Every structure is written in C-alpha cells, then in structure tokens.
C-alpha cells in the first residue's frame, strides 16, 4: 500500500514538472514588438505590418512569416513564436511606408520580448 502511494506521488510530480515546463515554453516564446512611427516620432495606429524571412519575399510581398498584423492604438504590433532569424519588415498606412529604409531586424534574443521601431515616410 505504501509503495502504491509513493509511486502515485512520484508520477504526479513528474507530470507536474512536464506541464510546468511546457507552459513556460509557451509564455516565454521569442517575440518581436514593432512600434510604427512617423518621421516626428508619433505613433501610427492602424498601420499594417508584415514580416518576411528573406529579401525576395519582402520585395515580392509573398510568403509572410505570419499573418499581417495591424498596429493597435498605441502604434505597435507583437509577433510571437519567432525563430532567431533575421526578418524583413514591411509596414504601411495610407500613403506612408517604410520601403527603402530600416527594413531588416535581426539578432533576436531567445525567449524575450525583442523591440524595434519602424519609421514610415511618404512614398
């Protein structure tokens, strides 16, 4: 009887450790917070932001890493569960875009909220 209780406790703690490590992996995924600004440093809510893995996809606007995100009222978007790669960012709203300047984001830190600003100008 004592062995059954001990075995049950050991199995319970093993299960708890597995569940805890999986939830930490979900909470602490590699993220990228992109704030969209104009030339004066004002946030631009409603801007569309898309990430691409390579320059060709960026130039052709094909094969985004994730679905396009829309900047919230504070002017930022967050992309989650990213790999530690370099990303090409395309952001635009109305007649403003970041095309031609500051489009590559790299050196992401694993399991952190990485941050970058993107400046939109008239095209």
**Per-residue confidence in pLDDT tens, the chain, 123 aa:** 665 554 454 555 545 554 444 444 446 799 999 999 999 999 999 999 999 999 999 999 999 999 999 999 999 999 999 999 999 999 999 999 998 776 899 989 999 999 999 999 997
The answer to the question of residue 10 being in a domain is no
Distance between CA 102 and CA 58 in Å, rounded? 13
Count the domains in the chain.
Answer: 1
What pLDDT is recorded for position 4? 59
SS3 label, residue 96: strand
The answer to the question of residue 90 being in a domain is yes
The answer to the question of residue 8 being in a domain is no
Whichever domain contains 49, its CATH number is 2.60.40.1120
- Is residue 77 within 8 A of residue 70, CB to CB? The reply is yes
The answer to the question of residue 40 being in a domain is yes
The answer to the question of residue 52 being in a domain is yes
Residue numbers of the domain that contains 72: 30-122
∠ CA 58-61-63, nearest 5°, is 85
The answer to the question of residue 44 being in a domain is yes
The answer to the question of residue 41 being in a domain is yes
State if pTM tops 0.75.
Answer: yes
What pLDDT is recorded for position 107? 86
Q: Which of 41, 53, 31, 43 is CA-nearest to residue 112?
A: 31
């Amino acid at each position: 009887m004592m062995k059954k209780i001990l075995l049950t406790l050991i199995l319970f703690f093993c299960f708890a450790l597995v569940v805890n490590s999986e939830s930490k992996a979900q909470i602490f995924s590699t993220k990228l917070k992109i704030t969209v600004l104009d030339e004066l440093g004002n946030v631009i809510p409603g801007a569309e932001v898309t990430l691409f893995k390579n320059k060709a996809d960026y130039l052709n606007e094909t094969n985004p890493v994730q679905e396009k995100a829309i900047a919230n009222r504070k002017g930022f978007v967050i992309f989650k569960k990213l790999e530690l790669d370099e990303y090409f960012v395309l952001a635009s709203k109305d007649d403003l875009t970041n095309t031609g300047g500051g489009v590559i984001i790299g050196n992401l830190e694993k399991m952190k909220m990485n941050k970058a600003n993107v400046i939109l100008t008239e095209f």
